[in-house]
Structure 1
Amino acid sequence: MSDTRKKEIILATLELAANKGLGNVSMNMIADKVGIKKPSLYNHFSSKEELVEVMYQFLSKEAKKTANIGAIDYTTFFAGKSALEILRGIVKGYFNMNQQEHMINFYKVIYSERSLNPVAAKIVAEETDRMILATKQLFYAMEVHKLLHFKNPDMSAVSFAMTIHGLMDYGLDQRNGQYRFETDKSLLDNYLKWFCEEYAA
Protein backbone atom coordinates (compact mmCIF):
# COMPACT_ATOMS: atom_id res chain seq x y z
CA MET A 1 0.00 0.00 0.00
CA SER A 2 1.35 3.41 -0.92
CA ASP A 3 1.85 5.94 1.85
CA THR A 4 -0.51 8.32 0.03
CA ARG A 5 -3.35 5.77 -0.07
CA LYS A 6 -2.69 4.74 3.53
CA LYS A 7 -2.89 8.35 4.69
CA GLU A 8 -6.04 8.92 2.64
CA ILE A 9 -7.80 5.93 4.24
CA ILE A 10 -6.64 6.87 7.75
CA LEU A 11 -7.75 10.50 7.49
CA ALA A 12 -11.08 9.52 5.92
CA THR A 13 -11.70 7.08 8.79
CA LEU A 14 -10.71 9.70 11.36
CA GLU A 15 -13.09 12.27 9.85
CA LEU A 16 -15.98 9.79 9.81
CA ALA A 17 -15.25 8.65 13.38
CA ALA A 18 -15.01 12.25 14.66
CA ASN A 19 -18.43 13.02 13.15
CA LYS A 20 -20.30 9.78 13.81
CA GLY A 21 -18.39 7.92 16.54
CA LEU A 22 -16.07 5.02 15.78
CA GLY A 23 -18.72 2.41 16.56
CA ASN A 24 -21.01 3.86 13.89
CA VAL A 25 -18.41 3.77 11.12
CA SER A 26 -18.39 0.73 8.84
CA MET A 27 -15.81 -0.46 6.34
CA ASN A 28 -18.40 0.27 3.62
CA MET A 29 -18.60 3.90 4.76
CA ILE A 30 -14.81 4.21 4.77
CA ALA A 31 -14.55 2.73 1.26
CA ASP A 32 -17.26 5.12 -0.01
CA LYS A 33 -15.52 8.10 1.59
CA VAL A 34 -12.18 7.20 -0.03
CA GLY A 35 -13.85 6.37 -3.34
CA ILE A 36 -12.80 2.72 -3.56
CA LYS A 37 -14.71 -0.56 -3.44
CA LYS A 38 -14.98 -2.41 -0.12
CA PRO A 39 -12.89 -5.41 -1.33
CA SER A 40 -10.09 -2.96 -2.22
CA LEU A 41 -10.19 -1.57 1.34
CA TYR A 42 -9.80 -5.10 2.71
CA ASN A 43 -6.69 -5.46 0.56
CA HIS A 44 -5.18 -2.71 2.70
CA PHE A 45 -6.68 -3.52 6.14
CA SER A 46 -8.14 -6.84 7.27
CA SER A 47 -10.53 -5.21 9.76
CA LYS A 48 -11.62 -1.90 11.24
CA GLU A 49 -9.68 -2.84 14.39
CA GLU A 50 -6.45 -3.16 12.40
CA LEU A 51 -7.18 0.14 10.66
CA VAL A 52 -7.63 1.92 14.02
CA GLU A 53 -4.35 0.51 15.39
CA VAL A 54 -2.45 1.52 12.23
CA MET A 55 -4.14 4.94 12.41
CA TYR A 56 -2.76 5.47 15.91
CA GLN A 57 0.78 4.44 14.88
CA PHE A 58 0.66 6.61 11.77
CA LEU A 59 -0.73 9.72 13.47
CA SER A 60 1.69 9.39 16.41
CA LYS A 61 4.66 9.11 14.06
CA GLU A 62 3.51 12.14 12.04
CA ALA A 63 2.86 14.17 15.22
CA LYS A 64 6.31 13.37 16.63
CA LYS A 65 7.91 14.38 13.35
CA THR A 66 5.99 17.68 13.27
CA ALA A 67 6.79 18.41 16.94
CA ASN A 68 10.45 17.45 16.33
CA ILE A 69 10.38 14.74 19.01
CA GLY A 70 12.94 11.97 18.80
CA ALA A 71 15.51 10.09 20.84
CA ILE A 72 17.07 12.25 23.56
CA ASP A 73 20.75 12.55 24.40
CA TYR A 74 20.24 13.43 28.05
CA THR A 75 23.74 14.82 28.63
CA THR A 76 23.26 17.32 25.80
CA PHE A 77 19.61 18.00 26.66
CA PHE A 78 20.36 18.66 30.35
CA ALA A 79 23.38 20.93 29.73
CA GLY A 80 22.92 24.31 31.42
CA LYS A 81 19.31 23.64 32.42
CA SER A 82 17.62 23.45 35.81
CA ALA A 83 15.32 20.54 36.67
CA LEU A 84 12.32 22.85 36.20
CA GLU A 85 13.47 23.95 32.74
CA ILE A 86 13.97 20.32 31.74
CA LEU A 87 10.51 19.23 32.88
CA ARG A 88 8.89 22.27 31.27
CA GLY A 89 10.60 21.41 27.96
CA ILE A 90 9.63 17.74 28.08
CA VAL A 91 6.00 18.46 28.98
CA LYS A 92 5.67 21.23 26.38
CA GLY A 93 6.98 18.86 23.69
CA TYR A 94 4.42 16.22 24.72
CA PHE A 95 1.61 18.78 24.63
CA ASN A 96 2.74 20.17 21.28
CA MET A 97 2.66 16.66 19.84
CA ASN A 98 -0.80 15.89 21.17
CA GLN A 99 -2.51 19.20 20.40
CA GLN A 100 -2.06 18.84 16.65
CA GLU A 101 -5.45 18.75 14.94
CA HIS A 102 -5.37 15.10 13.81
CA MET A 103 -4.13 13.90 17.22
CA ILE A 104 -6.80 15.91 19.07
CA ASN A 105 -9.50 14.42 16.84
CA PHE A 106 -8.06 10.94 17.28
CA TYR A 107 -7.99 11.23 21.08
CA LYS A 108 -11.56 12.59 21.12
CA VAL A 109 -12.66 9.48 19.22
CA ILE A 110 -10.58 7.00 21.24
CA TYR A 111 -11.43 8.46 24.66
CA SER A 112 -15.15 8.46 23.88
CA GLU A 113 -14.98 4.82 22.75
CA ARG A 114 -12.61 3.28 25.30
CA SER A 115 -15.32 2.02 27.69
CA LEU A 116 -17.03 0.14 24.85
CA ASN A 117 -14.30 -0.67 22.34
CA PRO A 118 -11.42 -3.00 23.36
CA VAL A 119 -9.14 -1.60 20.63
CA ALA A 120 -9.69 1.97 21.88
CA ALA A 121 -9.02 0.89 25.48
CA LYS A 122 -5.85 -0.91 24.37
CA ILE A 123 -4.54 2.18 22.56
CA VAL A 124 -5.16 4.44 25.59
CA ALA A 125 -3.45 1.93 27.91
CA GLU A 126 -0.46 1.52 25.56
CA GLU A 127 -0.03 5.29 25.23
CA THR A 128 -0.08 5.62 29.03
CA ASP A 129 2.45 2.77 29.36
CA ARG A 130 4.76 4.51 26.87
CA MET A 131 4.50 7.79 28.74
CA ILE A 132 5.30 6.10 32.07
CA LEU A 133 8.31 4.29 30.57
CA ALA A 134 9.66 7.51 29.01
CA THR A 135 9.21 9.30 32.35
CA LYS A 136 11.09 6.52 34.20
CA GLN A 137 14.00 6.84 31.77
CA LEU A 138 13.99 10.62 32.21
CA PHE A 139 13.95 10.37 36.01
CA TYR A 140 16.77 7.80 36.10
CA ALA A 141 18.86 10.19 33.98
CA MET A 142 17.96 13.18 36.19
CA GLU A 143 18.97 11.16 39.26
CA VAL A 144 22.34 10.24 37.69
CA HIS A 145 22.96 13.89 36.77
CA LYS A 146 21.96 14.94 40.33
CA LEU A 147 19.17 17.19 39.09
CA LEU A 148 16.45 15.53 41.17
CA HIS A 149 16.47 12.81 43.83
CA PHE A 150 13.82 10.08 44.18
CA LYS A 151 13.44 7.49 46.93
CA ASN A 152 11.46 5.45 44.43
CA PRO A 153 11.98 6.71 40.85
CA ASP A 154 9.58 4.16 39.35
CA MET A 155 6.62 5.23 41.48
CA SER A 156 7.56 8.91 41.16
CA ALA A 157 7.47 8.44 37.36
CA VAL A 158 4.03 6.79 37.52
CA SER A 159 2.71 9.60 39.72
CA PHE A 160 4.19 12.31 37.48
CA ALA A 161 3.02 10.76 34.20
CA MET A 162 -0.52 10.18 35.46
CA THR A 163 -0.74 13.72 36.85
CA ILE A 164 0.41 15.23 33.54
CA HIS A 165 -2.10 13.01 31.73
CA GLY A 166 -4.84 14.17 34.11
CA LEU A 167 -3.94 17.86 33.73
CA MET A 168 -3.93 17.46 29.96
CA ASP A 169 -7.41 15.88 30.04
CA TYR A 170 -8.60 18.63 32.39
CA GLY A 171 -7.32 21.31 30.02
CA LEU A 172 -9.00 19.63 27.05
CA ASP A 173 -12.30 19.39 28.94
CA GLN A 174 -12.13 23.06 29.94
CA ARG A 175 -11.51 24.16 26.35
CA ASN A 176 -13.85 21.65 24.68
CA GLY A 177 -10.94 19.77 23.17
CA GLN A 178 -8.75 22.76 22.30
CA TYR A 179 -5.94 22.84 24.86
CA ARG A 180 -3.79 25.99 24.73
CA PHE A 181 -0.45 25.27 26.36
CA GLU A 182 0.67 28.90 26.59
CA THR A 183 -2.54 30.24 28.16
CA ASP A 184 -3.66 27.25 30.26
CA LYS A 185 -0.35 26.34 31.85
CA SER A 186 -0.57 28.03 35.28
CA LEU A 187 -1.87 24.95 37.11
CA LEU A 188 0.58 22.75 35.23
CA ASP A 189 3.50 25.10 35.92
CA ASN A 190 2.63 25.28 39.62
CA TYR A 191 2.66 21.48 39.71
CA LEU A 192 6.08 21.35 37.99
CA LYS A 193 7.50 23.92 40.44
CA TRP A 194 6.13 21.95 43.40
CA PHE A 195 7.50 18.69 41.97
CA CYS A 196 11.01 20.12 41.55
CA GLU A 197 10.96 21.51 45.10
CA GLU A 198 9.66 18.23 46.50
CA TYR A 199 12.33 16.12 44.76
CA ALA A 200 15.22 18.58 44.79
CA ALA A 201 18.61 16.82 44.78
Structure 2
Amino acid sequence: MKKEEILSKLLVLASQKGLRSLSMSEIASAAGLKKSSLYSHFESKQDLINELYLFLRKRSNTKAFVDYSSYVKGKDLREIFLSVAISYDEMNRKPEMKTFYKVIISEKVLSKDAASVIIKETETMLNATRALFKAIEDNKIAFFKDFDIAALTFALLIHSALDLRLDAEMAESNIADGILEKVIDGFINSYVKEKNCGKNI
Protein backbone atom coordinates (compact mmCIF):
# COMPACT_ATOMS: atom_id res chain seq x y z
CA MET A 1 0.00 0.00 0.00
CA LYS A 2 1.28 3.47 -0.90
CA LYS A 3 1.93 6.09 1.77
CA GLU A 4 -0.79 8.31 0.29
CA GLU A 5 -3.38 5.55 0.74
CA ILE A 6 -2.35 5.07 4.36
CA LEU A 7 -2.65 8.81 4.98
CA SER A 8 -6.12 8.90 3.44
CA LYS A 9 -7.17 6.03 5.72
CA LEU A 10 -5.75 7.92 8.71
CA LEU A 11 -7.79 11.03 7.88
CA VAL A 12 -11.03 9.03 7.79
CA LEU A 13 -10.18 7.21 11.01
CA ALA A 14 -9.15 10.41 12.82
CA SER A 15 -12.38 12.15 11.80
CA GLN A 16 -14.34 9.26 13.32
CA LYS A 17 -12.37 8.56 16.49
CA GLY A 18 -10.06 11.52 17.02
CA LEU A 19 -6.27 11.43 17.07
CA ARG A 20 -5.50 11.18 20.77
CA SER A 21 -6.96 7.71 21.28
CA LEU A 22 -5.64 6.24 18.04
CA SER A 23 -2.85 3.71 18.28
CA MET A 24 -0.46 2.65 15.55
CA SER A 25 -2.08 -0.81 15.73
CA GLU A 26 -5.51 0.67 14.95
CA ILE A 27 -4.11 2.74 12.10
CA ALA A 28 -2.34 -0.31 10.66
CA SER A 29 -5.51 -2.38 10.93
CA ALA A 30 -7.60 0.29 9.17
CA ALA A 31 -5.04 0.40 6.38
CA GLY A 32 -4.99 -3.40 6.10
CA LEU A 33 -1.35 -3.60 7.18
CA LYS A 34 0.70 -5.27 9.86
CA LYS A 35 1.98 -2.88 12.50
CA SER A 36 5.56 -3.61 11.41
CA SER A 37 4.68 -2.64 7.84
CA LEU A 38 3.24 0.67 9.04
CA TYR A 39 6.48 1.41 10.90
CA SER A 40 8.42 0.80 7.69
CA HIS A 41 6.63 3.86 6.27
CA PHE A 42 6.39 6.05 9.38
CA GLU A 43 8.63 6.23 12.47
CA SER A 44 5.85 7.23 14.88
CA LYS A 45 2.28 8.48 15.12
CA GLN A 46 3.58 12.06 15.19
CA ASP A 47 5.54 11.39 12.00
CA LEU A 48 2.37 10.00 10.42
CA ILE A 49 0.34 13.07 11.41
CA ASN A 50 3.02 15.44 10.11
CA GLU A 51 3.10 13.54 6.82
CA LEU A 52 -0.69 13.77 6.59
CA TYR A 53 -0.51 17.55 7.01
CA LEU A 54 2.14 17.88 4.27
CA PHE A 55 0.25 15.46 2.01
CA LEU A 56 -2.98 17.48 2.28
CA ARG A 57 -1.16 20.75 1.67
CA LYS A 58 0.44 19.30 -1.45
CA ARG A 59 -2.88 17.93 -2.67
CA SER A 60 -4.40 21.38 -2.17
CA ASN A 61 -1.76 22.68 -4.60
CA THR A 62 -0.49 25.05 -1.93
CA LYS A 63 3.22 25.54 -1.37
CA ALA A 64 4.64 26.68 1.93
CA PHE A 65 7.00 28.97 0.04
CA VAL A 66 6.46 30.67 -3.31
CA ASP A 67 8.44 33.11 -5.42
CA TYR A 68 7.03 36.18 -3.71
CA SER A 69 9.33 38.50 -5.62
CA SER A 70 7.41 37.64 -8.80
CA TYR A 71 4.09 37.38 -6.97
CA VAL A 72 4.10 40.98 -5.68
CA LYS A 73 5.00 42.65 -8.96
CA GLY A 74 2.21 44.67 -10.54
CA LYS A 75 0.19 44.79 -7.31
CA ASP A 76 -0.29 47.42 -4.62
CA LEU A 77 0.15 46.55 -0.95
CA ARG A 78 -3.53 46.08 -0.08
CA GLU A 79 -4.06 43.91 -3.15
CA ILE A 80 -1.09 41.72 -2.18
CA PHE A 81 -2.32 41.21 1.38
CA LEU A 82 -5.89 40.42 0.31
CA SER A 83 -4.85 37.94 -2.38
CA VAL A 84 -2.52 36.10 0.03
CA ALA A 85 -5.21 35.88 2.71
CA ILE A 86 -7.84 34.67 0.24
CA SER A 87 -5.48 32.01 -1.16
CA TYR A 88 -4.78 30.71 2.35
CA ASP A 89 -8.51 30.71 3.11
CA GLU A 90 -9.30 28.76 -0.07
CA MET A 91 -6.74 26.09 0.86
CA ASN A 92 -8.25 25.64 4.31
CA ARG A 93 -11.78 25.36 2.91
CA LYS A 94 -11.01 22.32 0.78
CA PRO A 95 -12.94 19.35 2.22
CA GLU A 96 -9.95 17.24 3.28
CA MET A 97 -8.19 20.20 4.90
CA LYS A 98 -11.38 21.18 6.74
CA THR A 99 -11.70 17.63 8.08
CA PHE A 100 -8.05 17.61 9.12
CA TYR A 101 -8.24 20.96 10.91
CA LYS A 102 -11.50 19.97 12.59
CA VAL A 103 -9.70 17.01 14.15
CA ILE A 104 -6.54 18.95 15.03
CA ILE A 105 -8.26 21.99 16.52
CA SER A 106 -10.68 19.91 18.58
CA GLU A 107 -7.79 18.00 20.17
CA LYS A 108 -4.96 20.54 20.43
CA VAL A 109 -5.53 21.21 24.15
CA LEU A 110 -5.40 17.52 25.06
CA SER A 111 -3.07 16.04 22.46
CA LYS A 112 0.63 16.81 22.05
CA ASP A 113 0.45 15.39 18.50
CA ALA A 114 -2.34 17.79 17.54
CA ALA A 115 -0.68 20.77 19.23
CA SER A 116 2.56 20.01 17.36
CA VAL A 117 0.75 20.28 14.03
CA ILE A 118 -0.69 23.67 15.03
CA ILE A 119 2.83 24.85 15.93
CA LYS A 120 4.18 23.55 12.61
CA GLU A 121 1.43 25.36 10.69
CA THR A 122 2.11 28.59 12.60
CA GLU A 123 5.84 28.36 11.87
CA THR A 124 5.12 27.72 8.18
CA MET A 125 2.80 30.72 8.05
CA LEU A 126 5.35 32.95 9.81
CA ASN A 127 8.16 31.94 7.47
CA ALA A 128 5.94 32.55 4.45
CA THR A 129 4.93 35.97 5.84
CA ARG A 130 8.57 36.97 6.37
CA ALA A 131 9.38 35.92 2.79
CA LEU A 132 6.40 37.94 1.53
CA PHE A 133 7.41 41.04 3.52
CA LYS A 134 11.00 40.80 2.30
CA ALA A 135 9.77 40.69 -1.31
CA ILE A 136 7.56 43.72 -0.64
CA GLU A 137 10.51 45.69 0.74
CA ASP A 138 12.94 44.47 -1.93
CA ASN A 139 10.51 45.62 -4.62
CA LYS A 140 10.07 48.96 -2.80
CA ILE A 141 6.30 48.55 -2.53
CA ALA A 142 6.37 49.36 1.19
CA PHE A 143 8.62 49.32 4.26
CA PHE A 144 7.59 48.06 7.68
CA LYS A 145 8.05 49.33 11.22
CA ASP A 146 9.90 46.59 13.13
CA PHE A 147 9.98 43.92 10.41
CA ASP A 148 9.80 40.82 12.66
CA ILE A 149 6.99 42.13 14.87
CA ALA A 150 5.07 43.28 11.79
CA ALA A 151 5.35 39.83 10.18
CA LEU A 152 4.28 38.07 13.38
CA THR A 153 1.34 40.43 13.88
CA PHE A 154 0.15 40.10 10.29
CA ALA A 155 0.28 36.29 10.34
CA LEU A 156 -1.65 36.06 13.61
CA LEU A 157 -4.20 38.71 12.58
CA ILE A 158 -4.99 36.98 9.29
CA HIS A 159 -5.20 33.58 10.96
CA SER A 160 -7.62 34.94 13.58
CA ALA A 161 -9.70 36.80 11.00
CA LEU A 162 -10.11 33.69 8.85
CA ASP A 163 -11.06 31.61 11.89
CA LEU A 164 -13.68 34.21 12.80
CA ARG A 165 -15.09 34.13 9.25
CA LEU A 166 -15.53 30.36 9.44
CA ASP A 167 -17.13 30.57 12.89
CA ALA A 168 -19.47 33.35 11.72
CA GLU A 169 -20.56 31.35 8.69
CA MET A 170 -21.30 28.33 10.87
CA ALA A 171 -23.28 30.50 13.33
CA GLU A 172 -24.98 32.40 10.48
CA SER A 173 -23.70 35.66 11.96
CA ASN A 174 -22.61 38.82 10.14
CA ILE A 175 -19.96 39.70 12.74
CA ALA A 176 -17.14 38.90 10.30
CA ASP A 177 -18.48 40.81 7.30
CA GLY A 178 -15.57 42.68 5.72
CA ILE A 179 -13.21 41.46 8.45
CA LEU A 180 -10.25 40.79 6.14
CA GLU A 181 -10.40 44.27 4.63
CA LYS A 182 -10.71 45.88 8.09
CA VAL A 183 -7.81 43.89 9.53
CA ILE A 184 -5.57 44.56 6.53
CA ASP A 185 -6.35 48.29 6.46
CA GLY A 186 -5.71 48.52 10.21
CA PHE A 187 -2.42 46.66 9.85
CA ILE A 188 -1.24 48.93 7.01
CA ASN A 189 -2.08 52.03 9.04
CA SER A 190 -0.23 50.70 12.10
CA TYR A 191 2.82 48.87 10.74
CA VAL A 192 3.72 50.38 7.38
CA LYS A 193 6.12 53.31 7.71
CA GLU A 194 6.50 54.07 4.01
CA LYS A 195 4.34 52.99 1.10
CA ASN A 196 4.53 53.35 -2.66
CA CYS A 197 0.98 54.41 -3.52
CA GLY A 198 1.22 53.14 -7.07
CA LYS A 199 1.72 49.58 -8.26
CA ASN A 200 5.28 48.37 -8.50
CA ILE A 201 6.02 47.33 -12.09
1:79 aligned onto 2:73: yes
Q: CA RMSD in A?
A: 2.4
Q: In the alignment, residue 195 of structure 1 is paired with which amino acid? A: F
2:58 to 51, 58, 61: 61
User: For residue 108 of structure 1, what is the aligned residue in structure 2?
Assistant: 102
Partner of 1:152: 146
Which stretch of the first structure deviates more once superposed, 35-44 or 123-132?
35-44
Match of 2:199 in 1: none
What corresponds to 1:165 in structure 2? 159
Unpaired segments ≥5 residues, structure 2? 196-201
Paired residues of 1:69 and 1:93 also in contact (CA < 8 A): no
The CA deviation at 1:176 is 4.1
Question: Is this contact kept in 1: 2:82–2:180, CA < 8 A?
Answer: no
1:89 aligns with 2:83: yes
Any unmatched runs of 5+ in structure 1? 178-183
Does residue 20 in structure 1 map to residue 17 in structure 2?
Answer: yes
**Distance in 2 between residues matched to 1:119 and 1:44, nearest whole Å:** 18
Corresponding residue number in structure 2 for 1:139: 133
Aligned to 1:180: none
Rate the CA distance shift 1:149–1:25 in 2: closer, same or farther, 3 A.
Answer: same
Displacement of 1:22 in angstroms is: 0.8
Displacement of 1:155 after TM fit? 0.5
Deviation at 1:70, TM superposition (A): 5.5
What's the CA shift for 1:85? 1.0
1:34 is aligned with what amino acid?
A: A
Q: Provide the aligned length of Structure 1 versus Structure 2.
A: 189
Judged with a 3 Å threshold, the aligned counterparts in structure 2 of structure 1 residues 68 and 132 are, in CA distance, closer, same or farther, namely: closer
Residues 17, 24 of structure 1: 8 Å contact kept: no
Deviation per residue, 1:68-116 (Å, 9 max, x gap) = 7762151x32332111111111111111222211111111111122222
Matched, 1:186 2:182: no
Helix, strand or coil at the partner of 1:119: helix
Q: Which amino acid aligns with 1:53?
A: N
Q: Check the 8 A contact 1:83/1:148 in 2, yes or no.
A: yes
Q: Which runs of 4+ in 1 moved over 6 A?
A: none
Q: Displacement, 1:28?
A: 3.1
Using CA pairs below 8 Å that are at least 6 residues apart, which structure has the higher relative contact order?
Answer: 2
- Write the distance in 2 (CA, Å) between the matches of 1:115 and 1:195: 29
Are residue 126 (structure 1) and residue 126 (structure 2) matched? Answer: no
Q: Which residue of 2 aligns with 1:196?
A: 188
Identity %: 37
Change (3 A) 1:27 1:193: same
Measured after TM superposition, the shift of residue 13 of structure 1 is 0.9
Range moving further from structure 2, 142-151 or 107-116: 142-151
Amino acid at match of 2:21: N
How far, CA to CA, are the matches of 1:52 and 1:68 in structure 2? 18
